[in-house]
Amino acid sequence: MVAGVARSIERAACLSLLASFAKSFILDFVIKTLSPEQAQELITRGECDVVDVREPREWSRGHLPGARLVPFDRLRQSPKSTLTRDNVIFVCAAGVRSQAAAQVAEESGLSNVYNLSGGTRNWVNSGYQLVVGE
């Protein structure tokens, strides 16, 4: 009987791990990661909405051209009202909050979402400028 319980627990743990892996794989497939060069191309073509999920004090130090500020907490509270279209590039300082924001967008029904790899730091390190004061 103890061996049967142990196998059941082991099986449940394996299923949980598999489910977690599957969700991660699906999100990685649905949420596309962009390099700064790829993001710049989409921005230049006007094919996307650029949403910066940092806090206002971070935004004021500089943001991507054409971006709009939607702090992550506000996005998480009401994604349907803050995300008005599909084809969104999410941006933050290092790419972590923007990845979480892309997941929120995907879970809210958007199907074409992007995460800027490395965030604004990688953007600047790749030679692109941030906009200050707009």
- Domain residue ranges of the chain, discontinuous segments joined by +: 31-125
How is domain 31-125 classified at the architecture level of CATH?
3-Layer(aba) Sandwich (3.40)
Cβ atoms of 114 and 90 closer than 8 Å: yes
3-state helix, strand, coil in the chain (%, to 5): 55, 15, 30
DSSP 30: H
pLDDT at 71: 98
What's the whole-model pTM score? 0.78
pLDDT at 94: 97
Lowest mean pLDDT among 10-24, 28-42, 66-80, 89-103: 10-24
Distance in angstroms (rounded) separating the CA atoms of residues 15 and 40: 40
pLDDT digits (tens, 9 = 90+) for 118-132: 999 999 999 999 999
What is the average per-residue pLDDT within 90-95?
A: 98
The yes-or-no verdict on residue 4 having pLDDT over 80 is no
Burial class (CB in 10 A: 0-12, 13-18, 19+), 34: buried
pLDDT digits (tens, 9 = 90+) for 5-43: 556 666 666 555 544 444 444 444 479 999 999 999 999
